């Protein structure tokens, strides 16, 4: 009997770091744009000590962050190895205290979320997006009995931005039910349509990063902010027994990025927006069905068999795209437009050839 061998690429780890050999990668969500030039002044050779730093993070950086969050001070922050560590720590800290064990998140989700929650011994549960946005009716039903909610707007992978009204409702529902709200704000500065709204409140934990806004993902600097100083203290206690301090030189660079003129972010946003328009129109012209991204730098078009598309595009056309099933959405693929317009053009041409020949 003939056995059909399913050709499938199982996760993004197959693609991360893959480049050269004529490959066009719409894969990894790492900005190709340079960080603010001010960041490089830290490399001028003045740094003479490489000792352990404060586990909570360098005070100067935390003070600068406190300027950005009304009512906060340096004690409300923990500087982490990217938003990734902030998320990992906070769920493990919460897990120690919580009676309820479920964590609600919108689906499609950033692919690490279910893993991070499960590694903390908690159980991910899902509210499915409706037309790419949170459906408050479903949210209200599913949130009952949950310990925490994890949201991300603008969203990876959808590129959608939640309405301010929805965010305020979520803020209210979670606050009234004593549920923690973890708001992953790593794309908060990359919105093309309007100002962002960052949820606030006693039980809100804000996670953010220097990876996306400032193009510094390899330096691994992120943070969590919580008005609850006990929670901050517990996070520090966990960090001292796991990764210790975050790289001190990278933290100096993060401080330099925060002090760079704000026009840096505006200029980056113009570039992202041009790319957004280009790839969105290009995929529409190929006949694909997709949402127009309102933030971040991803498009998430519909396809029939995402695993096959990912496999074929890579092996036959040298194009990397991510499988929607990694994000809880097997009927889509994710493309990051963190590459210049010329490469996007070439990638679209190859995808066009694939679509024609499929
Ligand atoms: C939604 C979301 N959260 C967190 C992260 C992790 O970011 P960091 O580089 O700060 O760890 C990413 C990275 O792609 C992301 O898309």
Residue of higher predicted confidence among 242 and 28: 242
Per mean pLDDT, which range of 1-5, 300-304, 346-350 is the poorest? 1-5
216: Cβ below 6 Å to ligand 1?
no
Mutate to test the pocket of ligand 1, among 16, 26, 110, 219 (most ligand atoms within 8 A of CB): 110
> Is there an atom of ligand 1 within 6 Å of 184 CB?
yes
Helix (H, G, I), strand (E, B) or coil at 2: coil
Residue 44 has pLDDT above 90, yes or no: no
The confidence score (pLDDT) of residue 341 equals 96
Q: Is 11 helix (H, G, I), strand (E, B) or coil?
A: coil
**Ligand 1 atom nearest to CA at 210:** 10
Mean pLDDT of the 329-358 span: 96
| Cα–Cα separations (whole angstroms), residue 216 to 83, 136, 222, 248, 297 | 12, 35, 10, 14, 15
Query: Is the pLDDT reported for residue 304 higher than 60?
Result: yes
Q: Above 60 in pLDDT, residue 334?
A: yes
Neighbours of 267 (CB within 10 A): 12
- Give the pLDDT score at 97: 87
Residues 277-293: what's their mean pLDDT?
97
Distance 221 CA to ligand 1 centre (A): 11
CA 83 to ligand 1 center in whole angstroms: 6
- What lies within 8 Å, CB to CB, of 257 at 6+ separation is 35, 36, 38, 39, 210, 214, 216
pLDDT at 1 over 50: no
The per-residue pLDDT for 2 is: 46
DSSP element (H, E) containing 77: strand 77-80
**pLDDT digits 0-9 by tens, 268-278:** 999 999 999 99
Of all protein residues, the one whose alpha carbon is nearest to atom 14 of ligand 1 is 29
Q: pLDDT digit string (tens) for 151-193?
A: 999 999 999 999 999 999 999 999 999 999 999 999 999 999 8
Contact 57, 79 (CB under 8 A): yes
> In the predicted model, is pLDDT for residue 232 greater than 80?
yes
Q: Which CATH number fits domain 46-259: 3.90.550.10, 3.40.640.10, 1.10.760.10, 3.40.50.620?
A: 3.40.640.10
Residue 46 has pLDDT above 80, yes or no: no
Mean pLDDT of the chain, nearest integer: 95
Residue 4: pLDDT over 50:
no
Would the pLDDT of 313 be above 50?
yes
Q: List all residues 6 or more positions away from 118 whose beta carbon is below 8 Å from its beta carbon.
A: 124
DSSP for residue 156: T
pLDDT one-digit tens code per residue, 125-159? 999 999 999 999 999 999 999 999 999 999 999 99
Confidence of residue 224 (pLDDT cuts 50, 70, 90): very high
Contact 157, 194 (CB under 8 A): no
The atom of ligand 1 lying closest to the CA of 87 is 4
Q: What is the pLDDT of residue 169?
A: 98
Reference 81, options 207, 180, 199, 198; nearest CA is 207
Domain limits, CATH 3.90.1150.10, in the chain: 12-34+263-357
287 forms bridges with which residues in the sheet?
A: none
Give the number of residues written for the chain: 358
Q: Measure 82 CA to ligand 1 centroid, in angstroms.
A: 7
Q: What is the pLDDT of residues 14-39, one digit of tens each?
A: 998 888 889 999 998 889 999 999 99
> What would the pLDDT profile of 78-93 be if each residue is shown by its tens digit?
999 999 999 999 999 9
In 3D space, the residue among 72, 93, 137 whose CA is nearest the CA of residue 231 turns out to be 93
How many angstroms does the Cα of residue 76 sit away from the middle of ligand 1?
Answer: 21
Range(s) for CATH 3.40.640.10 in the chain? 46-259
Q: Residue 6's pLDDT band (boundaries 50, 70, 90)?
A: low
CATH fold of 12-34+263-357 reads: 3.90.1150
């Amino acid at each position: 009997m003939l056995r059909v061998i399913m050709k499938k690429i199982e996760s993004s780890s197959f693609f991360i770091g893959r480049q050269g050999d004529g490959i066009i990668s719409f894969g990894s969500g790492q900005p190709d744009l340079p960080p603010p030039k001010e960041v490089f002044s830290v490399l001028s050779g003045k740094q003479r000590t490489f000792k352990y730093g404060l586990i909570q993070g360098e005070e100067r950086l935390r003070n600068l962050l406190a300027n950005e969050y009304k009512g906060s001070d340096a004690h409300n922050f923990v500087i982490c190895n990217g938003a990734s560590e902030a998320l990992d720590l906070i769920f493990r800290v919460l897990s120690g205290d919580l009676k309820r064990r479920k964590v609600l998140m919108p689906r499609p989700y950033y692919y690490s979320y279910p893993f991070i929650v499960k590694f903390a011994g908690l159980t991910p549960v899902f509210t499915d997006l409706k037309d790419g946005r949170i459906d408050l009716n479903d949210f209200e039903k599913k949130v009952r009995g949950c310990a925490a909610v994890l949201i991300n707007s603008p969203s990876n992978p959808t590129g959608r931005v939640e309405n301010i009204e929805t965010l305020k409702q979520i803020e209210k529902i979670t606050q009234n039910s004593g549920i923690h709200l973890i708001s992953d704000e790593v794309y908060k500065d990359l919105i093309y349509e309007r100002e962002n709204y960052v949820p606030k409140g006693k039980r809100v934990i804000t996670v953010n990063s220097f990876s996306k806004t400032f193009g510094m993902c390899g330096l691994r600097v992120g943070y969590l902010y919580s008005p609850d100083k006990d929670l901050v203290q517990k996070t520090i206690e966990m960090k001292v027994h796991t990764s210790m301090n975050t790289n001190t030189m990278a933290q100096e660079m993060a401080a330099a990025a925060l002090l760079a003129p704000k026009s840096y972010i505006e200029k980056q946003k113009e570039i992202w927006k041009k790319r957004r328009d280009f790839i969105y129109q290009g995929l529409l012209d190929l006949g694909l069905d997709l949402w127009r991204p309102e933030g971040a730098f991803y498009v998430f078009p519909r396809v029939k068999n995402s695993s096959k598309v990912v496999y074929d595009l890579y092996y036959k056309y040298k194009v990397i795209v991510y499988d929607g099933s990694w994000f809880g959405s097997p009927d889509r693929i994710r493309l990051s437009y963190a590459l210049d317009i010329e490469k996007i053009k070439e990638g679209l041409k190859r995808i066009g050839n694939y679509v024609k020949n499929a």
